[in-house]
Amino acid sequence: MLRTFLAIGAASAFSTAALAQSEPSSAYVQIDSCPSYQLEGEPVWESACPGHENWSVFFRASEHGSGIAYAFNGSERTEFYRPPAQLLFGNFHNTMEWRVTSEGAFAIIHRYISEGPAMDVDPNAPDEEPPMQRQDLLVITALTPDDYETVACPLYVVDASQITDANDAARILADTFAPGYECDNRDPYVFTDISEVYATVEAFDMEQDEAEQTPAQPQPPKSKS
């Protein structure tokens, strides 16, 4: 129960005045052959790729993982976000799923694959080969193009290594929470169980129903200062 409340806490930034939109669908964008360059004096590469419609996607890859950032229609690039992978090496899949309505794209679901030994492997341990593992994470990004300073931010992460129906779970979370989301600096919550996904969405729906049934209280006028 506590994990559910922690998860739904991220929805406090959700605008209850979400736009009426058509049913969400998916548009898929392949990330291939993007221009890239190496940062001076560092083993780090950055790439710039076209996204869906007026979106641009940026990657920053180092020896042990990758980060991702976004821009919309010439806006400032967001900060790079690196998923909370537990293994030593990682990179994003070359297919991005964009959740869209008639109003445009409102969320992205993107798989991050990490492989190798665990991050906490002791390099000074006896000469035994550490076990090789794989972890798949689905990063759900909320798109907020109307906020020119922060046009996108990580919303939730679904651990696809532990949730069988991870793609469906990610779509449910994206479609429920991303429209009208207001970005902040909190770290995205990581779901590791499908029942928790359903419980979080159900709790949010109940909150929305209660809010609709409660008469709006008159608000004092805002100061002009």
CA–CA distance, 203 with 209 (Å, rounded to integer) = 10
Domain enclosing residue 197, as ranges: 2-12+23-32+84-118+131-205
CA–CA distance, 110 with 39 (Å, rounded to integer) = 25
Would 198 be classed as within a structural domain?
yes
**Total structural domains within the chain:** 1
Task: Please tell me the predicted confidence (pLDDT) of residue 195.
Answer: 95
Q: Of 136, 135, 170, nearest to 155 (Cα)? A: 170
Would 78 be classed as within a structural domain?
no
Give per-residue pLDDT as tens, 5-62. 445 455 544 444 344 457 999 999 999 889 999 988 888 999 999 999 999 999 999 8
Would 215 be classed as within a structural domain?
no
Sign of the alpha-carbon torsion through 7, 153, 19, 221? positive
Give per-residue pLDDT as tens, 181-215. 999 888 999 999 999 999 999 999 998 888 887 76
Would 181 be classed as within a structural domain?
yes
Tokens of 57: 């996607």
Would 47 be classed as within a structural domain?
no
Would 189 be classed as within a structural domain?
yes
What does residue 192 show for φ and ψ, rounded to 5 degrees? -125, 5
Tokens of 10: 């991220």
Give per-residue pLDDT as tens, 70-108. 999 989 999 999 999 888 889 899 999 999 999 999 999
Task: Please tell me the predicted confidence (pLDDT) of residue 15.
Answer: 43
Would 147 be classed as within a structural domain?
yes
Task: Please tell me the predicted confidence (pLDDT) of residue 133.
Answer: 87
Contacts 24+ apart (CB under 8 A), 38-44: none
Would 159 be classed as within a structural domain?
yes
